[in-house]
């Protein structure tokens, strides 16, 4: 099976882009002489040179192969193989065995566009130009116009925005593939950059196809076999990054995003492409590092408790804690909710007061179905994207695909409470259903991904694997820019996890892949290794949390991602594994696991920096009626413990929280849990076909730090509620009980919660001085984070914790 797969893959690859200009050598199987076969081939009993099926290395593109430890010195190839995986040879223009001076990214000499174009490792000038081994001919440390670089050219660098690419390969050629950019492949300079997103073609169409099924959501279904056999590729190379059985049986060839054809028919080079289900190209089969299975966790010494309290009024698809201390719930157009507007229509958004359980209906103008969101620098909440109108249900709500909805609330102006979402008229530049948002240090908003019309792996024209930037006021800049990590990970490209890091770059994770992305230059700063295990993003989303930042960890982010699943079907077993990575540090995944597989599980930071994981299911996926075996237990993750000791279990809820549920931290330090609406239109009573229905009950999880009603710090007064992320200081006065030992102050950004993705979510511990353990009335001095990459502008909550017990939090504005 495996060798057939590799042979099939090789045949496709060879036909697609190994356009040799020499006669394939014949061989003598019985001969004891040195084989005339190329490197990576051996002589078969039929006296033909065939690819080494026993050696997976042979089939991997150069950047995936083991790099020989030999000196990187340009030596002419004698047999037509070249590059890092083939003895660091370059192509000999005088060779009589082969033709061509360009070494392709797969390590073969030739002079076709596939060899000399994107990914070319050496001799890339093509047949016309000289391909003599580089010699020291002078040059400058600035980019040269001929795309040559490195030590043989006086240290010339590459222009990341130029025609060639920003990385200097071991052989002195500028390019943007991993063969050029990875230090392991001998990259000489510019090595942090890898792929310019803009240089990658993206499959989109100018106009959205007509929308027909907008009240529902398409489903990928269960693959007929998780490891699909190769589908006899035609050998015809893709022209748009699609491939395989669904797309004319094309192969990926030298497609810039990678040469493996994924199970769903998209070209790429990640484990989702080359691993299980790979249709053609350098498929690698089983994962190298299997993720850990479930690991039992002990019950927490202090588990906290859960109580049912209040209602959401509308299905809680999206939620955020607003600066007035109330929670806004936001839903799609429905034919039933518990609240009505003055115009007689159902409300699809509500404002919930956790202190009084009172609800107010909120109006909106465009369908917010599966939107993304974040807070603006001025404190308003934005919801971006959505879905088509459903006139037959509510003619007053319009098309929300490009919608931008704004909600303003204030800690000091109660007259804003209850006011409707404002839609002053700005629109996203392209339709986005399931986009993720993140605020940047300069207050602009990064909006990524989304569907133009519903997820269907056979319809790339439905997809929008691009990003766009909104101005700080949420007015659009009007341009959608292709983003390679989204493009190649279709259909698992929606609702990506995005975290802003201290250097101003974004950590972006989708499917199983992640990278560090620089928005300003539209470049991939670093490709991170794939996270072993199943898909982690929509429609098998788990949760992703950036752990607390502090001066003691140099504000260096640790990101933990848990849960997920292998395919979008009710039979899909959820993934228990978690990966934790320091993208700016070692950048390797440390694997861990929850006590059980969980999809749609979401992690929320508590005021003390521990992480609570709730909601989700042990079986199934996101989508209507697609999950069962609800996971009811609260899981507590203490990031400060050693690996293997971080998880403990809390209480069990009695309420299934499946698709379209949420969790977020309230000002009083408790966790609000709400939602679950895994049916197309609300149902209040289960049937055999719909065992899980619409849930309007809220729950409050009281965390360990409030168990037993400890005395909270009180009378908290901040010297200012307009704070600057510039290392400046402010003071906090408060009272604490006698005999207290230590204070901690956290600066907490809850963000916009939907589909177990917490957009913008982050917290920082602030340095403090002046706590007097002998006193009960304190005045402490608190230092703000050093810059806006650590604390981007917007509304935050300040929690003062004494010996781990939080005071009631207070909203501040950070600029
Ligand atoms: C290919 O396989 C042959 C025989 O199995 C082995 O001797 C040879 O080392 C392999 N070549 C490479 C490049 O792996
Ligand atoms: C809402 O729509 C569903 C599905 O179309 C239907 O079964 C249900 O009766 C409708 N509910 C109301 C209250 O109209
Ligand atoms: C922000 O501060 C951190 C910590 O001092 C530093 O590492 C980082 O480079 C700064 N970010 C920017 C964009 O200057």
Which run of H or of E encompasses 4? helix 2-17
Task: Judge contact between 190 and 160, C-beta under 8 A.
Answer: yes
Confidence of residue 52 (pLDDT cuts 50, 70, 90): very low
CA atoms within 13 A on the CB side of 485: 32
> For residue range 680-739, what is the model confidence (pLDDT) as tens digits?
999 999 999 999 999 999 999 999 999 999 999 999 999 999 999 999 999 999 999 999
Q: Identify which ligand lies nearest to the alpha carbon of 44.
A: 1
| pLDDT at position 499 | 98
| pLDDT at position 331 | 98
Q: What's the token pair of residue 377?
A: 């620098």
| pLDDT at position 287 | 59
Spatial separation of the C-alpha atoms in residues 240 and 265, rounded to whole Å: 11
56 versus 503: the higher-pLDDT residue is: 503
| pLDDT at position 67 | 30
Site to substitute for ligand 1 among 52, 62, 80, most atoms within 8 A of C-beta: 52
In the predicted structure, residue 796 carries a pLDDT above the cut 70? yes
CB atoms under 10 Å from CB of 634, counted, come to 25
In the predicted structure, residue 178 carries a pLDDT above the cut 70? no
The atom number, within ligand 3, closest to the CA of 504 reads: 13
* E strand residue ranges, 684-728: 697-702, 714-718, 722-723
User: Does the Cβ of 681 fall within 6 Å of ligand 2?
Assistant: yes
In the predicted structure, residue 190 carries a pLDDT above the cut 80? yes
Q: Which residue's C-alpha comes closest to atom 7 of ligand 1?
A: 42
> For residue range 615-647, what is the model confidence (pLDDT) as tens digits?
999 999 999 999 999 999 999 999 999 999 999
How confident is the model over 769-785, as a mean pLDDT? 98
The atom number, within ligand 1, closest to the CA of 40 reads: 13
With pLDDT > 90 as the criterion, what percentage of the chain qualifies? 63
Spatial separation of the C-alpha atoms in residues 185 and 88, rounded to whole Å: 10
CA atoms within 13 A on the CB side of 795: 25
In the chain, what are the domains? 714-814 (2.60.40.10)
Query: Which of 203-212, 355-364, 565-574 is predicted with the least confidence, judged by mean pLDDT?
Result: 203-212
> For residue range 217-262, what is the model confidence (pLDDT) as tens digits?
667 777 765 444 455 677 788 888 999 888 888 889 888 888 899 9
Spatial separation of the C-alpha atoms in residues 523 and 745, rounded to whole Å: 36
The atom number, within ligand 2, closest to the CA of 336 reads: 13
With pLDDT > 70 as the criterion, what percentage of the chain qualifies? 82
In the predicted structure, residue 541 carries a pLDDT above the cut 90? yes
Q: Which residue's C-alpha comes closest to atom 6 of ligand 2?
A: 681
Among 60, 494, 457, residue whose Cα is nearest residue 222: 457
Site to substitute for ligand 3 among 790, 791, 814, most atoms within 8 A of C-beta: 790
Among 601, 532, 538, 590, residue whose Cα is nearest residue 559: 590
Residue 91 CA, ligand 1 centroid: distance in Å: 22
User: Does the Cβ of 336 fall within 6 Å of ligand 2?
Assistant: yes
Q: What is the mean pLDDT of the chain?
A: 85
Spatial separation of the C-alpha atoms in residues 717 and 736, rounded to whole Å: 13
389 versus 82: the higher-pLDDT residue is: 389
| pLDDT at position 170 | 74
Q: Identify which ligand lies nearest to the alpha carbon of 346.
A: 2
In the predicted structure, residue 587 carries a pLDDT above the cut 60? yes
| pLDDT at position 419 | 98
User: Does the Cβ of 684 fall within 6 Å of ligand 2?
Assistant: no
Confidence of residue 135 (pLDDT cuts 50, 70, 90): very low
Query: For residue 651, what are the β-bridge partners?
Result: none
**In residues, how long is the chain?**
815
> For residue range 233-242, what is the model confidence (pLDDT) as tens digits?
777 888 889 9
The atom number, within ligand 3, closest to the CA of 441 reads: 13
* E strand residue ranges, 480-610: 481-482, 497-500, 506-510, 513-518, 523-528, 543-546, 559-562, 577-581, 590-593, 602-605
Spatial separation of the C-alpha atoms in residues 276 and 283, rounded to whole Å: 8
| pLDDT at position 22 | 37
How confident is the model over 484-502, as a mean pLDDT? 96
Number of separate helices (H) and strands (E) present in the chain: 5, 50
User: Does the Cβ of 522 fall within 6 Å of ligand 2?
Assistant: no
Q: What's the token pair of residue 231?
A: 């589908």
| pLDDT at position 372 | 98
764 versus 189: the higher-pLDDT residue is: 764
| pLDDT at position 147 | 77
Q: Which residue's C-alpha comes closest to atom 14 of ligand 1?
A: 40
> For residue range 335-380, what is the model confidence (pLDDT) as tens digits?
999 999 999 999 999 999 999 999 999 999 999 999 999 999 999 9
Using DSSP, state whether 511 is helix, strand or coil. Answer: coil
> For residue range 107-129, what is the model confidence (pLDDT) as tens digits?
777 777 667 776 677 877 643 33
How confident is the model over 264-277, as a mean pLDDT? 89
How confident is the model over 645-663, as a mean pLDDT? 98
Its sign, for the CA torsion 472, 476, 481, 485, is positive
Which run of H or of E encompasses 89? strand 89-90
Spatial separation of the C-alpha atoms in residues 413 and 405, rounded to whole Å: 20
| pLDDT at position 529 | 92
Binding-site residues, ligand 3, Cβ < 6 A: 502-504, 555, 786-787, 789-790
What's the N-to-C CA distance of the chain in angstroms? 59
Query: For residue 51, what are the β-bridge partners?
Result: 41
Spatial separation of the C-alpha atoms in residues 616 and 604, rounded to whole Å: 14
Residue 335 CA, ligand 2 centroid: distance in Å: 6
585: CB partners within 8 A, 6+ apart: 556
| pLDDT at position 377 | 98
CB atoms under 10 Å from CB of 542, counted, come to 33
How confident is the model over 300-313, as a mean pLDDT? 98
| pLDDT at position 325 | 98
| pLDDT at position 365 | 97
Q: What's the token pair of residue 197?
A: 């997103």
User: Does the Cβ of 216 fall within 6 Å of ligand 2?
Assistant: no
Its sign, for the CA torsion 207, 212, 216, 220, is negative
In the predicted structure, residue 4 carries a pLDDT above the cut 60? no
Query: For residue 777, what are the β-bridge partners?
Result: 735
Spatial separation of the C-alpha atoms in residues 45 and 526, rounded to whole Å: 45
Spatial separation of the C-alpha atoms in residues 284 and 6, rounded to whole Å: 8
How confident is the model over 181-203, as a mean pLDDT? 59
| pLDDT at position 17 | 27
Among 411, 765, 382, residue whose Cα is nearest residue 606: 765
**Full DSSP string of 149-218:** -BGGGTTB---TTSSS-SEE-TTSBEE-SHHHH-GGGT--BSTT---BGGGS-----SSPPPP--TTS--
| pLDDT at position 286 | 61
Site to substitute for ligand 2 among 314, 332, 335, 392, most atoms within 8 A of C-beta: 335
Query: Which of 37-51, 578-592, 645-659 is predicted with the least confidence, judged by mean pLDDT?
Result: 37-51
Among 299, 186, 192, residue whose Cα is nearest residue 647: 299
Residue 334 CA, ligand 2 centroid: distance in Å: 9
Residue 787 CA, ligand 3 centroid: distance in Å: 6
In the predicted structure, residue 197 carries a pLDDT above the cut 50? no
Residue 88: phi and psi, rounded to 5, are 60, 35
- Cβ-based burial of 707 (10 A; exposed 0-12, middle 13-18, buried ≥19): middle
Spatial separation of the C-alpha atoms in residues 296 and 300, rounded to whole Å: 12
| pLDDT at position 177 | 65
In the predicted structure, residue 547 carries a pLDDT above the cut 90? yes
Strand 722-723 and strand 810-814: the pairing is parallel
Q: Which residue's C-alpha comes closest to atom 14 of ligand 3?
A: 503
Q: What's the token pair of residue 188?
A: 């000489």
Highest mean pLDDT among 51-65, 148-162, 778-792 belongs to 778-792
In the predicted structure, residue 53 carries a pLDDT above the cut 70? no
């Amino acid at each position: 099976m495996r060798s057939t797969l590799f042979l099939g893959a090789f045949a496709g690859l060879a036909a697609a882009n190994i356009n040799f200009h020499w006669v394939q050598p014949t061989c003598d199987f019985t001969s004891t002489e040195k084989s005339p076969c190329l490197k990576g081939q051996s002589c078969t009993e039929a006296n033909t040179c065939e690819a080494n099926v026993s050696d997976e290395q042979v089939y991997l593109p150069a950047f995936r192969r083991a790099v020989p430890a030999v000196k990187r010195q340009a030596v002419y190839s004698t047999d037509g193989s070249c590059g890092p995986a083939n003895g660091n040879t370059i192509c000999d223009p005088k060779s009589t065995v082969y033709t061509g001076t360009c070494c392709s990214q797969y390590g073969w000499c030739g002079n076709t566009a596939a060899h000399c174009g994107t990914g070319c490792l050496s001799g890339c000038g093509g047949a016309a130009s000289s391909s003599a081994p580089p010699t020291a001919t002078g040059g400058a440390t600035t980019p040269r116009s001929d795309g040559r670089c490195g030590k043989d050219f006086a240290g010339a660098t590459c222009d990341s925005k130029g025609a060639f690419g920003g990385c200097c390969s071991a052989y002195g050629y500028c390019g943007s593939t991993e063969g050029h950019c990875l230090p392991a492949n001998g990259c000489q300079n510019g090595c942090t950059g890898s792929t310019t997103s803009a240089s990658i073609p993206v499959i989109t169409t100018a106009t959205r196809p007509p929308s027909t099924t907008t009240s529902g959501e398409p489903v990928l279904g269960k693959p007929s076999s998780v490891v699909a056999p190769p589908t006899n590729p035609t050998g015809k190379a893709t022209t748009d990054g699609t491939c395989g059985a669904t797309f004319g049986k094309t192969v990926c060839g030298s497609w810039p995003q990678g040469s493996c054809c994924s199970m769903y028919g998209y070209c790429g080079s990640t484990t989702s492409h080359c691993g299980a289900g790979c249709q053609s190209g350098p498929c690698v089969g089983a994962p190298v590092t299997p993720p850990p299975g479930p690991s039992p966790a002990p019950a927490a010494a202090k588990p906290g408790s859960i109580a049912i309290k209040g209602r959401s009024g509308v299905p809680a698809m999206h939620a955020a804690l607003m600066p007035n201390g109330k929670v806004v719930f936001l839903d799609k157009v429905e034919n039933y909710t518990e609240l009505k507007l003055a115009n007689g229509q159902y409300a699809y958004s509500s404002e919930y007061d956790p202190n009084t359980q009172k609800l107010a209906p909120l109006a909106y103008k465009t369908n917010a179905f599966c939107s993304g969101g974040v807070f603006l620098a001025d404190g308003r909440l934005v919801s971006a994207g959505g879905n088509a109108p459903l006139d037959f249900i509510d003619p007053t709500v319009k098309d929300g695909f490009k919608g931008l909805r704004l909600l303003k609330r204030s800690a000091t102006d109660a007259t804003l409470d209850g006011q409707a979402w404002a839609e002053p008229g700005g629109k996203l530049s392209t339709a986005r259903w399931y986009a993720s948002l993140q605020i940047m240090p300069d207050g602009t908003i990064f909006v990524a991904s989304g569907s133009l019309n519903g997820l269907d792996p056979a319809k790339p024209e439905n997809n929008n694997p691009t990003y766009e930037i909104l101005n700080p006021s949420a007015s659009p800049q009007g341009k959608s820019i292709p983003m390679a990590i989204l493009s190649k990970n279709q259909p698992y490209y929606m609702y990506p996890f995005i975290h802003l890091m201290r250097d101003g770059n974004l950590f972006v994770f989708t499917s199983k892949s992640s990278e560090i992305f620089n928005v300003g230059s539209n470049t991939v700063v670093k490709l991170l290794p794939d996270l072993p295990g199943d898909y982690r993003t929509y429609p098998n989303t788990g949760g992703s949390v950036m752990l607390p930042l502090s001066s003691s960890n140099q504000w260096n982010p640790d990101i933990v991602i848990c849960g997920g699943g292998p395919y979008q079907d009710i039979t899909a077993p959820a993934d228990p594994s978690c990966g934790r990575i320091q993208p700016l540090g070692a950048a390797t995944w440390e694997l861990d696991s929850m006590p059980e597989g969980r999809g749609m599980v979401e992690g929320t930071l508590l005021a003390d920096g521990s992480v609570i994981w709730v909601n989700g299911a042990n079986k199934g996926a996101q989508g209507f009626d697609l999950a069962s075996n609800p996971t009811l237990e609260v899981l507590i993750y203490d990031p400060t413990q050693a690996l293997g000791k971080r998880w403990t279990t809390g209480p069990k809820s009695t309420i299934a929280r499946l698709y379209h549920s949420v969790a977020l931290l309230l000002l009083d330090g408790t966790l609000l849990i709400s939602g679950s609406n895994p049916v197309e239109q609300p149902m209040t009573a289960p049937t055999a076909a719909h065992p899980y229905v619409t849930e309007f009950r809220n729950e409050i999880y009281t965390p360990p730090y409030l168990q037993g009603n400890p005395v909270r710090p009180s009378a908290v007064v901040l010297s200012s509620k307009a704070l600057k992320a510039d290392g400046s200081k402010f003071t906090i006065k408060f009272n604490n009980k006698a005999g207290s030992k230590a204070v901690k102050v956290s600066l907490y950004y809850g963000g916009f919660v939907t589909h177990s993705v917490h957009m913008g979510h982050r917290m920082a511990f602030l340095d403090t001085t002046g706590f007097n353990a002998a006193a009960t009335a304190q005045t402490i001095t608190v230092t703000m984070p050093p810059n806006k990459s650590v604390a981007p502008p917007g509304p935050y909550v300040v929690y003062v914790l004494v010996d781990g017990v939080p005071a009631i939090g207070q909203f501040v504005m950070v600029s």
